[in-house]
Amino acid sequence: MNPSSNLFLIGPMGAGKSSIGRRLAEHFDLPCIDLDAAVEERTGASVATIFEIEGEAGFRRRESELLAELTARDGIVLATGGGAVLAPENRPRLRERGFVVWLQTSIEQQLARLVRDRQRPLLEAPDRRARLEQLARERDPVYRELADFVVEGTGESCQHAAARIASLLERHWQRAVAPKPTT
């Protein structure tokens, strides 16, 4: 949604949502919230442990609950998890409560960025490339549908990407002033 006081980052694992989100938040002087970290904090367990004990369905339930809470806030940068767009109830929350930016990336970049990752259960596959391709096929149409703005990945560092995206957003995001929190 544009204008909006919130900035929501969507896109696949390894797109740099958390690192770029942190830098964008600094640039726009807003708090940055990482949805995975919020779920871990609330649950007291890592994403990997939640998947192990409760399965993906349990994780998605917790993710949706936090997403509903966080998208109700004003004046935040929210870095979502790659699958946060899946639950149908999450989509209007993202669409109607923030300026949604899709951080695109290539499978090559994802594989390179995630090469040492052992924390993402969905990457525990014999063929990571095939898994990432399959997720992209399923999810790209949803990212596209939700995005107010699409940023192509160029393979640059997160620092450079964040600077480039910040200047694009200066032009394209009509930033609404967040209402003062009521006490």
CB closer to ligand S3P, 29 vs 89: 89
CB closer to ligand S3P, 14 vs 75: 14
Minimum separation from the CB atom of position 10 to ligand S3P (A): 9
Query: What is the 3 state secondary structure string of the chain?
Result: CCCECCEEEECCCCCCHHHHHHHHHHHHCCCEEEHHHHHHHHHCCCHHHHHHHHHHHHHHHHHHHHHHHHHCCCCCEEECCCCCCCCCCHHHHHHHHCEEEEECCCHHHHHHHCCCCCCCHHHCCCCHHHHHHHHHHHHHHHHHHHCCEEECCCCCCHHHHHHHHHHHHHHHCCECCCCCCCC
Minimum separation from the CB atom of position 120 to ligand S3P (A): 4
Minimum separation from the CB atom of position 18 to ligand S3P (A): 6
Minimum separation from the CB atom of position 116 to ligand S3P (A): 13
Interface positions with ligand S3P (CB under 6 A):
13, 17-18, 36, 47, 81-83, 120-122
CB closer to ligand S3P, 47 vs 78: 47
CB closer to ligand S3P, 13 vs 20: 13
